[in-house]
C-alpha cells in the first residue's frame, strides 16, 4: 500500500525523443497535459491522479538520474546507455529513434581501416569508439573527444574518421563523407533503477508490460 502512495518518476530526454515517448505513454493511458505546452520552461511535470512525475534532462544525464534513483524509469537512446555505462536495468526496446552508430569518413580512409593503421578517430562517443576499435577490431587508434558537429573532424584535418550516429545520412552526404563501417544499431530504450525495480516491481512491470503489448500490436498492424 505504501508503494502506491509514492510518485513514480520518469526521466526523459529533452526534445524529439520526449515527444515520441509522451505519445507512446498516452496510447497506454498515461497522460501529462502540462508537458505538451511548447512554450513552458518548466522541467518537471506531475500527474496527480496516477501519482507520476516526469522530468526533462539532457540525454546523457538520463542514465545518471536513473542510476542514483532520482528517477525510477528513464527513456533514452541506446547510444547513450552504452556510452554512459551506468548501473541500470535496460528493460525494453521502444522501436523508435532508430539510427546506426557508424565509422564514417572519406572513401580514402577505407584503406586505413582495413590495414589497421593507427588512425585518429573524432567522436562524441569515446567509450563506444574505444570498445569498437580496441575490443572488436583489435585496432589501436587515437580517440579525440568532440561535443558536436563531429563531421568536421575529417574535413578540417583533425581526424581520419569519425564514430557518430547516422540517421538519414544527409549530414554525411552534404559534407562529402560516407559510412565506412557499422558499429551497432541504435533505438530508444526504457531503463529502470535497480532498487525501484525491487521496491516498486508491480507498478513498474505493469507499465513495461503495457508498453510491450502496445508495441507488439503496432508491429503486427504494420507488418
Residue 37 or 167 having the CB closest to ligand PRP: 167
Number of residues that bind ligand PRP (CB under 6 A): 12
x/- site string to ligand PRP, residues 148 to 167, per CB under 6 A? xxxx------------xxxx
Q: How far is the CB of 99 from ligand PRP (least distance, A)?
A: 7
Angle between helices 201-222 and 16-27 (to 10 degrees): 90
Residue 60 or 169 having the CB closest to ligand PRP: 169
- Give me the residue whose beta carbon is nearest to ligand PRP: 148
What is the C-alpha end-to-end distance of the chain, expressed in Å? 42
Q: How far is the CB of 171 from ligand PRP (least distance, A)?
A: 3
User: Contact region for ligand PRP (CB under 6 A) — 125-133, 143-151, 194-202, 215-223?
Assistant: 143-151
Q: How far is the CB of 214 from ligand PRP (least distance, A)?
A: 27
User: Contact region for ligand PRP (CB under 6 A) — 55-63, 104-112, 142-150, 210-218?
Assistant: 142-150
Q: How far is the CB of 15 from ligand PRP (least distance, A)?
A: 9
Q: What residues numbered 195-214 form the site for ligand PRP, per CB under 6 A? A: none
Helix (H, G, I), strand (E, B) or coil at 32: coil
User: Would you tell me how many other CB atoms lie within 10 Å of the CB of residue 104?
Assistant: 24
x/- site string to ligand PRP, residues 165 to 184, per CB under 6 A? xxxxxxx-------------
**Sheet with strand 8-13: strands edge to edge:** 44-47, 52-57, 8-13, 73-77, 188-192, 89-93
User: Would you tell me how many other CB atoms lie within 10 Å of the CB of residue 2?
Assistant: 6
- Please write down the HEC assignment for all residues of 124-185: CCHHHHHHHHHHHCCCCCEEEECCCCCCHHHHCCCCCEEEEEECCCHHHHHCCCEEEEEEEE
Residues in the site for ligand PRP, rule: CB under 6 A? Answer: 148-151, 164-171
Amino acid at each position: 500500500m505504501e508503494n502506491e502512495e509514492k510518485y513514480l518518476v520518469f526521466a526523459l530526454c529533452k526534445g524529439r525523443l520526449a515527444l515520441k515517448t509522451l505519445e507512446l505513454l498516452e496510447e497506454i493511458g498515461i497522460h501529462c497535459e502540462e508537458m505538451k505546452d511548447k512554450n513552458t520552461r518548466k522541467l518537471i511535470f506531475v500527474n496527480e491522479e496516477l501519482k507520476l512525475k516526469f522530468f526533462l534532462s539532457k540525454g546523457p544525464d538520463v542514465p545518471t538520474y536513473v542510476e542514483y534513483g532520482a528517477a525510477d524509469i528513464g527513456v533514452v537512446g541506446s547510444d547513450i546507455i552504452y556510452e554512459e555505462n551506468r548501473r541500470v536495468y535496460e528493460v525494453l526496446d521502444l522501436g523508435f529513434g532508430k539510427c546506426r552508430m557508424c565509422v564514417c569518413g572519406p572513401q580514402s580512409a577505407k584503406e586505413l581501416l582495413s590495414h589497421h593503421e593507427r588512425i585518429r578517430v573524432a567522436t562524441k562517443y569515446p567509450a563506444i569508439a574505444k570498445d569498437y576499435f580496441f575490443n572488436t577490431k583489435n585496432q589501436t587508434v587515437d580517440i579525440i573527444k568532440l561535443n558536436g558537429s563531429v563531421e568536421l573532424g575529417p574535413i578540417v584535418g583533425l581526424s581520419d574518421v569519425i564514430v557518430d550516429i547516422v540517421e538519414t545520412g544527409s549530414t554525411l552526404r552534404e559534407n562529402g563523407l560516407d559510412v565506412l563501417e557499422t558499429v551497432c544499431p541504435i533505438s530508444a530504450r526504457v531503463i529502470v533503477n535497480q532498487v525501484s525495480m525491487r521496491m516498486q516491481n508491480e507498478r513498474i512491470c505493469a507499465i513495461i508490460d503495457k508498453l510491450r503489448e502496445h508495441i507488439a500490436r503496432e508491429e503486427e498492424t504494420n507488418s
